[in-house]
Amino acid sequence: QNGVMSGLMQMLLLKVSAHITEQLGMAPGGEFREAFKEASKVPFCKFHLGDRPIPVTFKRAIAALSFWQKVKLAWGLCFLSDPISKDDVEKCKQKDLLEQMMAEMIGEFPDLHRTIVSERDIYLTYMLKQAAKQIELPRASENEPRKYIPAVVVGVVGMGHVPGIEKNWNSDLKIQEIMSVPPPSASSKIFKFVLKATVFGLLGYGCYRIGHRTVQFVLSMPATQSYIQRLTEVPQH
């Protein structure tokens, strides 16, 4: 539904999620499940999913990477087997260590960091600011002055997004640009064509080999040979 490269990337990230779940005994995203449970306990509370849609993020991330960066990233995700402990998770909550990890990611995949982290910082900030707007109270008549009360908002975000949200909070944000999906690059088109040609070629070769062996097997059967022999004897008579 979302394209070959996007689908493959989602499969690899699901593998990473499964690895984390296996190591820690809990699935990533537990904080959002808890937020949903807590929101259901508060009267008149509205629960809103405020992150950018996953297909947009994936497509923008894939379009930002070169062919070799995609191969390098896919290779790293395929062979991810580093052990993770709960102590490691606690260490990641330290601001200095978290900033160091983010800096390493920027150094290795700057375009990936921009699309997956920085752009989503902007989107999350924009959605939080929209939710934090003052609420207008109902008026008895048109002549009655407008009255507002402040909105009470609890934002639950990944800790890696907190510095970006703080940085963007007082900025005039526009999200139209980061919501657009760029057209596929020439390398993506070539890769897609090669991948399709390889798959169809392998399928065709497999069908040929299976068909060839099937024909040979059928022809080697005594009943088939007897039938063919009878057919060849008919013209002679």
Q: Kindly report, residue by residue over 141-185, the tens digit of the pLDDT.
A: 888 888 998 889 999 998 889 999 999 999 999 899 999 887 766
Both tokens of 234, joined, read 């008919």
Three-point CA angle 169, 173, 177, nearest 5°: 140
Task: Looking at the chain, list the stretches that DSSP marks H as alpha helix, in order from N- to C-terminal side.
Answer: 4-24, 30-41, 54-64, 67-78, 86-92, 95-108, 110-113, 119-131, 162-168, 176-179, 186-220, 222-236
Helix, coil or strand: residue 166: helix
- Write the DSSP string, 209-233: HHHHHHHHHHHHSHHHHHHHHHHHH
Neighbour count for residue 96 (Cβ, 10 Å): 7
- At position 104, the amino acid (one-letter code) is E
CA distance 188 to 196: 12
pLDDT at 201 (0 to 100): 87
Mean pLDDT taken over the chain: 81
pLDDT digits (tens, 9 = 90+) for 78-125: 776 677 777 877 777 776 666 666 666 667 788 888 888 899 999 999
pLDDT digits (tens, 9 = 90+) for 54-80: 888 888 888 887 777 777 777 777 776
Both tokens of 11, joined, read 């499969």
Q: Please report, for the chain, the start and end positions of each structural domain, with discontinuous segments joined by +.
A: 2-182, 189-233
CA distance 189 to 214: 37
pLDDT at 119 (0 to 100): 94
Number of residues in the chain: 237
CA distance 140 to 146: 10
